[in-house]
Amino acid sequence: MVTIREFQELMRALYYERDSRRGIERTFMWLVQEVGELARAIMKNDRENIEEEVADVLAWLASLCNLLGIDMESAALKKYPGRCPKCGSIPCRCDLK
Ligand SMILES: [Zn+2]
């Protein structure tokens, strides 16, 4: 089992040097491009490709967070501390939009 923090640390070990040279703006653009590829995989209902693109989106988000000095696990649990941040329920009881 790997935690969100451990995954982010792996991405740092693998890519931080290259990510630093690329910079925040271009790394963000790569993340957006991968989200677009995930959208296309979903539209094609290509299960294997969807899994690959989910992995890429997570990896690029981790790279971006490394450059921004954001700990993904802390940020996620701060906003979602085990319940819906708006209504406080599990499952969420907020009105559908
Ligand atoms: Zn809610």
Distance (Å, rounded) from C-alpha 77 to C-alpha 85?
Answer: 10
Residue 85 domain-assigned?
no
SS (HEC) of the chain: CCCHHHHHHHHHHHHHHHHHHHCHHHHHHHHHHHHHHHHHHHHHCCHHHHHHHHHHHHHHHHHHHHHHCCCHHHHHHHHCCCCCCCCCCCCCCCCCC
pLDDT along the chain (97 residues), means of 10: 95 98 98 98 98 98 98 96 94 89
Q: What is the CATH number of the domain that holds 53?
A: 1.10.287.1080
Residue 50 domain-assigned?
yes
pTM, to two decimals: 0.92
Residue 26 domain-assigned?
yes
- What's the 89 CA to ligand 1 centre distance in angstroms? 6
Total structural domains within the chain: 1
- State residue 96's pLDDT score: 80
Residue 92 domain-assigned?
no
Distance (Å, rounded) from C-alpha 64 to C-alpha 76?
Answer: 15
- What's the 82 CA to ligand 1 centre distance in angstroms? 12
- State residue 1's pLDDT score: 82
Domain that holds residue 45: 4-79
- What's the 94 CA to ligand 1 centre distance in angstroms? 4
Question: Which residues hold their Cβ within 5 A of ligand 1, which is an ion?
Answer: 84, 86-87, 92, 94
Residue 44 domain-assigned?
yes
